Amino acid sequence: MKNSNRNNSRRNFIKIAAAGSAALGLSSVSNVFGSTANDEEQKLSTKLKVPASKGKSVMGLRCEPLKTVRIGFIGIGMRGIGSLQRLLQIEGVEIIAIADVVPSAVKSGNKQLTDAGFKAAIEYTGEEDWKKICERDDIDLIYQCTPWLMHTPVSVYAMKHGKHAACEVPSAVTLDECWDLVNTAEETQRHFMMLENCCYDFFELNTLNMARNGVFGDILHAEGAYLHDLRELKFRKENGYHNMWRLEYSKIHTGNPYPTHGLGPVAQIMGINRGDRFDYLTSVSTKQEGLSLYAAETFGANSPEALQTYALGDMNTTLIQTVNGKTIMIQHNTTSPRPYSRIQMISGTKGMAIKYPEEQIALEPAAHEFLKKEDFDALMKKYEHPLITRIGEKAKKVGGHGGMDFMMDYRLIYCLRNGLPLDQDVYDAAAWCSVVALSEKSVLNKGTSVEIPDFTRGAWKNATPWPVVSID
């Protein structure tokens, strides 16, 4: 009886996934959706495939320094327009081409360039024009702010055409995509960076510095999250997500589709892929209520929106165990009425730090209470991350989630111009994004633990945790 239930729900899931892929109208990127029965069987299998490497490791990759970073910018929607504006304020950046399927978006992007005194970029508006941009020989970096299902195909195509690729979160939504990114970066020896901006927030950078200096002792457990009520935005028909892509994804997928804001910063602090690695995870979700209730209240109980089935459980909780015996809890909830939080908690043998709802630190020998405000401020000052010292004030002025977005872009361009390894590499992107597919797999298998592949193929053992780099 149990088995037949499971088979039924599996068959339903396959049907929903296939219907969803068609609904999304995917043409060139339809393969990324995992919409065939075979792919879905593989998704539910607990046996992981580790494909053979086609190139050499890119751990610590250094590429030729670029005097000017010439950028092809793809996707000028709600996120992209701000990203373009930030890039224009960094020395050594030239925007060569911009693309979006919405011509007015391309125009408003170019207006930013010309208003700021730059030459207008070459405009592309075709559905597959991102390929033409990747094929150009006057571009070094493809910077992408498109819907999730485009991320890997565009990034892989870019690297295969000799470009470095930077891409919004999450960079991959299936395990195959995670491996595609790794294998292509290794094959082409190009940089790939997922634009995980939360790694560059002020509290995160300072506590990274503290962690490297042993302030928290051995960090054994961390918690992160993306708790952000997006109900209105998901259902917005005008001026919202292009073709309502986020709602479409919520119809078909459960688990944690957006783990990296919570996971990235704590994974970096804990040295994941550099001395430790994710081993396995287990994941459970609540049932879905938030989207249906919101749709019934907003559009009426008999509206198509209210009658629609949504796969995404309101709250997903995923637990990751690392090879070195540490744990991470990651939550996702975009459909419940509650204040924004990424939790951002690290707990070690000498103390702990937590960011939400209020930044607090507790340390031995008085760790039963949080530090007083003046002691907290003094600690943050003492361990101010060099990137903040160098560029924090400007970042606050330029903005982008309080400045973290600018610090991320600044650092990406700085590393490319100086031939340095990037702070986040393709192995980080793959490990952090693997939680998208693997949390869903675990949820659909009653929380069964699922192995997380070693995307570094063993290189994590000899790599050292990312240092607190100084910026001149």
Ligand X SMILES: NC(=O)c1ccc[n+]([C@@H]2O[C@H](COP(=O)([O-])OP(=O)(O)OC[C@H]3O[C@@H](n4cnc5c(N)ncnc54)[C@H](O)[C@@H]3O)[C@@H](O)[C@H]2O)c1
Asked if 87 interacts with ligand X (CB under 6 A), we say: no
Residues 24 and 308: their CA atoms lie apart, in Å, by 15
Q: Is 109 in the site for ligand X (CB under 6 A)?
A: no
Q: Which residue's CB is nearer to ligand X, number 404 or number 444?
A: 404
Angstrom CA distances, 261 to 153, 197, 265, 471, stand at: 22, 8, 7, 24
| Closer residue to ligand X, CB minimum distance, 76 or 134 | 76
Going by C-beta distance under 8 Å and a sequence separation of 6 or more, which residues neighbour residue 139? 70, 71, 72, 96, 97, 133, 163
- For ligand X, the closer of residues 20 and 77 by Cβ is 77
Which range binds ligand X by CB under 6 A, 62-70, 94-102, 412-420, 425-433?
A: 94-102
Q: How far is the CB of 112 from ligand X (least distance, A)?
A: 14
**Among the listed residues 17, 59, 97, 101, the single contact to ligand X using CB under 6 A:** 101
Q: Is 406 in the site for ligand X (CB under 6 A)?
A: no
Return the number of the residue (154 or 391) whose C-beta is nearest ligand X: 154
Q: Does 223 bind ligand X (CB under 6 A)?
A: no
Which element (helix H / strand E) includes 40? helix 37-44
SS3 34: coil
In the bound state with ligand X, the residue whose beta carbon lies nearer, of 77 and 262, is 77
Tell me the C-alpha distance between 110 and 116, whole Å: 10
In the chain the first and final C-alpha atoms are separated, in Å, by: 65
Q: Is 403 in the site for ligand X (CB under 6 A)?
A: no
Judged by CB under 6 A, the stretch of 5-13, 95-103, 176-184, 390-398 that binds ligand X is 95-103
Q: Which range in 96-104, 111-119, 174-182, 331-339 contacts ligand X by CB under 6 A? A: 96-104
Q: How far is the CB of 215 from ligand X (least distance, A)?
A: 27
Applying CB under 6 A, does 265 fall inside the site for ligand X? no
Residue at 276: amino acid letter: D
Smallest distance, ligand X to C-beta of residue 107, A: 12
Tell me the window of 4-12, 45-53, 99-107, 372-380 that interacts with ligand X (CB under 6 A): 99-107
Token output for 321:
């165990």
Both tokens of 54, joined, read 């086609």
Q: Give 344's contacts (C-beta < 8 A, 6+ positions apart).
A: 198, 203, 204, 223, 224, 262, 265, 266, 353, 354, 355, 356
Query: Do residues 340 and 326 lie in contact, with contact meaning Cβ atoms separated by under 8 Å?
Result: no
The token pair at 146 is: 């498109």
For the bound state, the minimum distance from the C-beta of residue 408 to ligand X, rounded and expressed in Å, comes to 9
Q: Does 76 sit near ligand X (CB under 6 A)?
A: yes
Q: Does 225 bind ligand X (CB under 6 A)?
A: no
Q: Which is nearer to ligand X, 105 or 436 (CB)?
A: 105
Q: Is 459 in the site for ligand X (CB under 6 A)?
A: no
Tokens encoding 182? 């790794």
228 binds ligand X (CB under 6 A): no
Count of residues that interact with ligand X, criterion CB under 6 A: 24
Q: Provide the sign of the torsion angle of the four alpha carbons 183, 465, 64, 471, taken in this order.
A: positive
Query: Nearest residue to ligand X, using CB?
Result: 77
The reply on whether position 197 binds ligand X by CB under 6 A is: yes
Q: Which of 16, 78, 220, 306 binds ligand X (CB under 6 A)?
A: 78
Q: Which is nearer to ligand X, 86 or 326 (CB)?
A: 86
What is the amino acid identity at position 272?
Answer: I
Contacts with ligand X in 115-174 (CB under 6 A)? 127, 130, 145-148, 168-169
- Give yes or no for residue 102 binding ligand X (CB under 6 A): yes
Is residue 257 a contact point for ligand X (CB under 6 A)? no
Q: Check residue 256 for interaction with ligand X (CB under 6 A).
A: no
State CA 328 to chain mean position distance: 17
Among the listed ranges 54-62, 87-95, 100-108, 447-455, the one in contact with ligand X (CB under 6 A) is 100-108
Task: Provide the b/e sequence for 411-437 (b: ≥16 CB within 10 Å).
Answer: bbbbbbbeebbbbbbbbbbbbbbbbbb
Among 105, 281, 345, 450, binds ligand X (CB under 6 A): 105
Q: Cβ(107)–Cβ(127) under 8 Å?
A: no
Residues in contact with 283: Cβ distance below 8 Å, sequence separation at least 6, in sequence order: 255, 256, 316, 317, 318, 319, 438, 439, 440, 442, 443, 447, 450
Which range in 76-84, 318-326, 364-372, 430-438 contacts ligand X by CB under 6 A?
76-84
Record the tokens describing residue 21, joined without a space: 């892929």
Q: Do residues 299 and 309 lie in contact, with contact meaning Cβ atoms separated by under 8 Å? A: no
Structure tokens that stand for 346 in this block: 């690290």
* Residue 460 structure tokens: 């994590």
20 counts as binding ligand X under rule CB under 6 A? no
Between residues 101 and 379, which has the closer beta carbon with respect to ligand X?
A: 101
Q: Which is nearer to ligand X, 127 or 364 (CB)?
A: 127
99 binds ligand X (CB under 6 A): yes
> Angle CA(78)–CA(172)–CA(15) in degrees, nearest 5?
100
- Main-chain dihedrals φ then ψ at residue 240, nearest 5 degrees: -115, -150
For β-strands 327-333 and 345-348, DSSP reports them as unpaired
Instruction: Name the residues that contact ligand X, by CB under 6 A.
Output: 74-80, 99-102, 105, 127, 130, 145-148, 168-169, 197, 241-242, 401
